[in-house]
Structure 1
Amino acid sequence: MSEIIRIDSNARMSQVVITGGIAYLAGQVGAEGGTVTEQTQAILGKIDVLLEKAGTDKTKLITAQIWCADMSTDFADMNAVWDAWVAEGCAPARWTGEAKLATTGYKVEIIVTAAV
């Protein structure tokens, strides 16, 4: 059985769980009320920090799941930030959808996995 490592845990969840050579990150959100661009930049900054804590980085992304509160208004702005952040030649398998997020102040949530 593979070892399971949990990073930045509390009673409800861990921000990262590593097992079998894969780092699974919890969904990340930016500050409520910011623009889609600001929230996406903040989220990707959090992901960079969490990947570093897990001993990996964005060049080893496997999957990305992105939720936008409103695809018709948020998708293009989120993509502009995402496209500038993703390492060239290292784009993960990705899916994006529209969802009602935890609060109306959140516009984007991103969940990634990465090889360690």
Structure 2
Amino acid sequence: MNVLLTPPIAFLIYIPLILLISLLGKALAPEHKADPAKISLYSSGEKAPTNTAAPGYAPFFLVAFFFAIIHLGILVLATGNLSSSSILYLAGLVLGLVALILG
């Protein structure tokens, strides 16, 4: 029974099972009819804006750096002991976050 739980064997068992479930779902689904109302954007009856809200990846990178600094910084602080160097590290972490927020 443990052989069935090894990843390669389980993968080979699950692939036909997933294909069977997918084919069954396609057989039960109704036929698709092209309708412009079904593929248009809907936002409570309003037309969707045509301009991009945030062009580029700059806002994403700002948020990603913020969370990376917080998570990695707290991980380093949590795995160390409480000493004067950890307080200096925490001050540098806060200074880095303030610099990131202020731009």
TM-score range, shorter chain: under 0.3
What's the TM-score once normalised by structure 1's chain length? 0.24
Q: Which has the higher strand share?
A: 1
Q: Which has the higher helix share?
A: 2
The structure whose RCO (Cα within 8 Å, separation 6+) is larger is 1
